[in-house]
Amino acid sequence: MSKRTRLDRFLAKHLQVPRKQVRLVLSASRITVDGDVVREMDYQLHEFHQVALDGQLLRGDKPRYIMMHKPVGVVSATKDDIHPTVLDLLPEEERHGLHIVGRLDLNTSGLVLLTNDSRWSKALMAPDHHVAKEYLVTLQNPLSDDYIQAFRDGMYFGYEGITTLPATLEILSPYQAKVVLVEGKYHQIKRMFGRFRNPVVGLHRSRVGNLVLDSDLPPGQWRHLTSGEIAVP
């Protein structure tokens, strides 16, 4: 089913009856949507409306929002023949219909979000929304103040013909920095530090927008988002 569809089309397909019979069912007040009687043929259903006939649920998928602490060595994918996936870390009953919001590389750890609500994930990850992503980066060589201005200015990558948007870099120790990006180019952080010939040896995402990785979640563990977290991505 598409993200939005007419109620009569859904009922005709689900009940396997002609549209004329659907009209009779609706006019008899036998259909409810989220508990309310609906009689309009062209009523627009979205993907999480609960539809019932004579009190019997025909469709009742609920939106789900999950925060996970992805370990190194787990891929941000729904299926992989070599490595375990983030879905493998969930119980079987939680996996259906989920997609990943903002993937992390195999060797990057930290916050991964999963949901079955495409509207929520699109709002969170749309490039023009410039949602901030925060990372803890561990480097092979010592950092210097030159990095701060270079990240703030943006860097030009000739292969794609792009210049990165301004990023914030805060030096935490000689070999560690906090980096905040508002975009997600391919291997962006590793490539930006590569300009200084300084290999990244550890990368951990701690925040996406206002969603901060729960400090009580050890690697490989997950929990559902609270209603407050869902409302303020």
Joined tokens for residue 190: 């590793």
Q: Which CA distances in Å does 89 have to 66, 93, 101, 222? A: 12, 12, 16, 8
Q: Which of 61, 80, 88, 105 is catalytic?
A: 105
DSSP-assigned letter for residue 77: S
Longest dimension (CA), the chain: 74
Q: Is 34 a catalytic residue?
A: no
CB atoms within 10 A of CB 195: 13
The residue count for the chain: 233
Which of these, 140, 108, 98, 61, lies nearest to 213 by C-alpha position? Answer: 108
Backbone angles phi, psi at 148, to 5 degrees: -60, -50
Which of these, 201, 233, 226, lies nearest to 109 by C-alpha position? Answer: 201
Catalytic residues: 105
